Amino acid sequence: MDADTPGTTLDKTFDPAAIEAKWYAHWEREGLFRPARPDAQPFTIVNPPPNVTGSLHIGHALDNTLQDVVVRYERLRGKDALWVVGTDHAGIATQMVVERQLEARQDKRTNYSREDFVAKVWEWKTESGGEITRQLRRLGCSMDWSREQFTMDPHFTRAVIKVFVDLHKRGLIYRDKRLVNWDPKLKTAISDLEVETREVAGHFWHFRYPLADGSGELHVATTRPETMLADMAVAVHPDDDRYKAMVSKQVRLPITGRLIPVLADEHADPELGSGVVKITPGHDFNDFEVGRRAGFKAGEMLNMFDAEAKVVQTADGLVPAEFAGMDRFEARQAVVARMKADGFLVPHTVTDKNGDVTEHDAEPRTIQQPYGDRGGVPIEPWLTDQWYVDAAELAKAPIAAVREGRVEIVPKSWEKTFFNWMDNIQPWCVSRQLWWGHRVPAWYGDDGAIYVAETEGEAQAQAGSGVTLRRDDDVLDTWFSSALWPFATLGWPDSTDLLAKHYPNDLLISGFDILFFWDARMMMMGQAMTGENPWQRLYLHGLVRAPDGQKMSKSKGNVVDPLGLIDQYGADALRFFMAAMESQGRDIKMDERRVEGYRNFATKLWNAARFCQSNGIGASDTVAAPPATSAVNRWIVGEVVGTVAALDKAMADLRFDAAANAIYHFVWDTFCDWYIELVKGNFDAETRAVAGWVLDQILVMLHPFMPFVTEELWGALGDRKNYPLITAKWPEPGAAVDPAAKREVEWLIALVTGLRTAKNELGIAPGARLEAYAPGASAEVRGIAARNAAAIERLARLSSLTFDPAPAGAAIQIGAGDATIVVPLEGVIDIAAEKARLEKALAVSQKEAKSLEGRLSNPAFAQKAKPEAVEKARADHAMHAAEAERLSAALARLG
């Protein structure tokens, strides 16, 4: 590599689409995402495995961009950087996709055996699954595709089964009867993550429950009247004096005639309604806990629904036959009608403005209704036998690891949330009533005995010969298998070289929304199965929100397609936007104008490289900075040193925004706007060598953020087929900041910037040549001016700069270093007319700013106006305030 090495002449126009597919195919084909570095320090990161049914959304774009920035950075630093990639089998989502395909052909899952249906799912996976992996390639993700994983791969399945069996042997997995979130459409338990709460129009019905001894009655209110068929108690607060005498008495439940106790429990809120609540422990999560505190065993709790949420007879046989088989919402209306007919409904009275009173069966209320996000129907708390993990026990090691600093959570503000959830963690239901997934490795004998083993043969050996075994029909929650991702993807439970080198991982990057469902569970499983934390650091990023700050959703129509942005602006621009906007602890507001701006940034770099190439500047032949004697070359070398240090610090702190900001301003401001301008017309051998070296350092430093344009420029500036940018060496300038050169160039920049600003403020043509004076300038300033006379004339448009006293009269005064530069204005502009113009413009801006300030300080405006109107008012106020400040400064220049 040397500065004169020919490359490829760059096209006049930067076209992202033309280079992205070419370079990605090259990197993957040549195995450059994981080059052979057996003796290098490892760096390992695993991607949160997207659903095999998924497609790239804006959250994936953020998450994977940040991971790729880190991986490319560590690869450039010479590490054996492994980014594990794969997809999750997504039990419910995948089964639903295949079932929908069957329904489209007037077919259904139950027409097939379990084995035949699973075979159809595998067929779908082979033909259509994994679209998102192709889309991740378009984003530029440098994953090790040669080791792509799938959570249903044989080796992974073996790991899942082993973990289940081992945890069961240790008493950490067990079967229990508890309430679960039940999806009546899909007929399976679902996790909290798969439940979405919606605001819906509902009602409160008020009922009278008579005491069995005839001494009075209690009034209860409920949003789910149908569940009263399985009520087992009513509860009042132990400190509620209104009901103390009733505690331990019995209520004769209307419709069923069941005798149920009056309990004292703090769950009852004396301030809410009558202060009396009905307790249905088999159909409400809070009631379940009340029932347990009251001594009801789970097996004794009444269940009134089947798997489709239709009414069935309770164990005590007291549900009237007329309700049997009713859908839950049909039963709701029937119960209300029966309670009204029997005189147990307390009507809701409404008094209108005329004083007229009307009665209604129920009180309208907006209620928070949980829905299954896949089935799309209200979920039903349902009492079933399921497999559970003792999460409280498994949480102890992760809690200690974070408290003791062995695992760092970034931003640190998430630690409080982490501890709050982990300290109060509930048993984890890991069984699902599906056919697609890892089947629970448990078998049942005729007598109900359970045998847990890795194979049916081992289970049979436990049961003994002659015992007929039946395999558990359930599969495991997909979060159970994905919790093994950091080590099972590396070959565990086998002792592989890959596992020894790359486990524990170094870092995990994920959205904060899966902190508990995936991140914390990886910590639990990593500690439980390997005795080590799965990674040393956990970085939690925010959400990408719509421009107005709202959460994106298909129903709101504000979802942004990242592939559309890539088509329009290129993957590099989208990636840079994601990194530059990622500020720890904050959500990102989508702003397409910023994406477009970063496309312009890539274009500016492209044009700068073309300019360099046209002036004989090509690939450098050195990693260390070349010798430099001129101030501008010594300065730019020092600026590279400072930028590398800023980047390294930002990456060490996981400040993606700071890292992007550092390289952005170096490229745009320092290199393109100043260095190239300062050296124009003086491309001697030293300058060509330094400029080529600096351009190389830019491409290396920018590569993690913008891999495509940088690799294209790297290849075009020199013949480097055997030294691709993706595996180049991270900058090691071997130089230091030169203070004298820094002062000299910064003096020039201050002079030019100050003059350009003043000309703009005063309406002076940019090209107008002016005279300047620097009375009393120091010897250093005089020397800088002498050495840079040509640049001062060319860039500052000064026809002369002398050190004599300036003539009296109106003048521009510019600060540059310790010197004050005076530029007389007599004969340059009509000073009186310019003052009048500026004063008039200032008055307008001040008036507008004051008006907007009054509007923004009015609470009514902030409360009633649309968010976008408030935001526009703020932006307009800031603009007018800034303009007023600028005009005031311009007037001050005129004296």
Q: Running along the chain, 895 residues long, what does each successive block of 10 average in pLDDT?
A: 61 93 96 94 96 91 97 98 96 92 93 96 91 95 96 97 98 95 92 87 94 94 95 96 93 97 95 92 95 94 96 96 96 97 93 84 91 90 96 97 97 95 94 96 95 97 94 96 97 95 97 92 97 97 87 79 95 98 89 96 97 94 95 97 98 97 97 95 93 98 98 94 94 95 94 89 87 88 91 89 86 82 82 73 84 83 76 83 77 70
Q: How far does CA 489 lie from the centroid of its chain? A: 23
- What is the reported pLDDT for 893? 65
Residues 868, 576: Cα–Cα separation, whole Å: 26
- Residue where the block lists tokens 């080529």: 692
* Distances in whole angstroms, Cα of residue 320 to Cα of each of 238, 258, 325, 689: 33, 12, 11, 93
Q: Which residues contact 825 (CB under 8 A, 6 or more apart)?
A: 762, 809, 810, 811, 812, 831, 894
Going by C-alpha positions, the residue among 209, 229, 211 that lies closest to residue 221 is 209
What is the residue type of 91?
Answer: G
What is the residue type of 813?
Answer: Q
Residues 813, 821: Cα–Cα separation, whole Å: 6
Length of the chain (residues): 895
Q: Which residues contact 512 (CB under 8 A, 6 or more apart)?
A: 414, 540, 541, 542
Q: Which residues contact 544 (CB under 8 A, 6 or more apart)?
A: 58, 59, 61, 62, 552, 560, 578, 587, 588, 590
Are the beta carbons of 466 and 458 closer than 8 angstroms? no
Are the beta carbons of 83 and 142 closer than 8 angstroms? yes
- Residue where the block lists tokens 């950087």: 81
* 484 HSE (CA, 13 A, CB side): 27
* Distances in whole angstroms, Cα of residue 64 to Cα of each of 46, 140, 508, 579, 711: 10, 9, 11, 10, 19
CA dihedral for 332, 336, 337, 341, sign (positive or negative)? positive
Are the beta carbons of 852 and 873 closer than 8 angstroms? yes
Residues 243, 251: Cα–Cα separation, whole Å: 13
* Distances in whole angstroms, Cα of residue 407 to Cα of each of 73, 334, 533: 22, 56, 7
Q: Which residues contact 524 (CB under 8 A, 6 or more apart)?
A: 391, 394, 395, 397, 398, 483
What is the residue type of 544?
Answer: V
In three-state secondary structure terms, 261 is strand
Q: Which residues contact 655 (CB under 8 A, 6 or more apart)?
A: 583, 584
Residue 281 corresponds to which tokens in the numbers above? 């422990």
Number of Cβ atoms within 10 Å of the Cβ of 761: 18
What is the residue type of 470?
Answer: R
Q: How far does CA 374 lie from the centroid of its chain? A: 21
Alpha helix locations (H) across 140-195?
Answer: 154-169
- What is the reported pLDDT for 4? 44
Are the beta carbons of 325 and 310 closer than 8 angstroms? yes
Number of helices (H), then strands (E), in the chain: 30, 32
Confidence (pTM): 0.88
Q: Is 892 exposed, middle or buried (0-12, 13-18, 19+ CB in 10 A)?
A: exposed
Q: What are phi and psi of 615, to 5 degrees?
A: -110, 25
Query: If residue 876 lies in a helix (H) or strand (E), which one and from where to where?
Result: helix 867-894
Are the beta carbons of 484 and 160 closer than 8 angstroms? yes
- Residue where the block lists tokens 């280079």: 19
- What is the reported pLDDT for 2? 41
Please state at what angle helix 592-614 crosses helix 685-702, rounded to 10 degrees. Answer: 150
Residues 204, 512: Cα–Cα separation, whole Å: 35
Are the beta carbons of 683 and 615 closer than 8 angstroms? yes
Are the beta carbons of 718 and 688 closer than 8 angstroms? no
Strands 363-372 and 173-183: unpaired
Rg (CA), the chain: 36
In three-state secondary structure terms, 471 is strand
Are the beta carbons of 46 and 505 closer than 8 angstroms? yes
Residues 768, 763: Cα–Cα separation, whole Å: 11
What is the residue type of 872?
Answer: K
Going by C-alpha positions, the residue among 295, 290, 287, 296 that lies closest to residue 264 is 290
* Distances in whole angstroms, Cα of residue 188 to Cα of each of 183, 185, 282, 306, 861: 6, 8, 17, 12, 49
Residues 769, 788: Cα–Cα separation, whole Å: 17
